[in-house]
Amino acid sequence: MKGQSFFILGLIFALIIAVLAVINNDPVQFNYVFGSQKWPLILIILTTAVFGGVVAASLSFVKIVQLRGQVKQKNKRIAELEEEIKQHKPVEPVVEEEPNQPATRTERAHL
């Protein structure tokens, strides 16, 4: 369900960008570090959207790799602890004795 939600949101976002790009197709002055040029606004909108998607995907990929490493470490530690548990002998439960009480009549009859 979560994947479908993200897919639908992505489609809606793409549709909004497409509508904005078609409506705003006039050439505009684009200034960058080494100069400036007139480009159609559609190219600027699409380029920035693609660049934003690439940056977001890259950051997500880095986080996913970090989390996978953590999961691998945790699974290794769990395996070590499970092996340590298997090597230990079971401990006998401690049963507390009741304090000495006078024997009842039936108990005295059996003695």
What's the pLDDT tens digit per position in 8-27? 988 898 888 778 777 877 88
Q: What is the pLDDT of residue 98?
A: 66
Alpha-helical segments (H) within 1-104:
2-23, 41-87
Paired tokens of 30? 């684009």
Burial (0-12, 13-18, 19+ Cβ within 10 Å), 69: exposed
HSE at residue 92, side-chain half, CA atoms within 13 A, is 3
Rounded CA separation 21/43 (Å): 8
> Where is pLDDT greater, at 110 or 72?
72
Q: Where are the domains of the chain?
A: 16-87
What's the pLDDT tens digit per position in 48-93? 888 998 999 999 999 999 999 999 999 999 999 988 888 876 667 7
Q: What is the pLDDT of residue 84?
A: 87
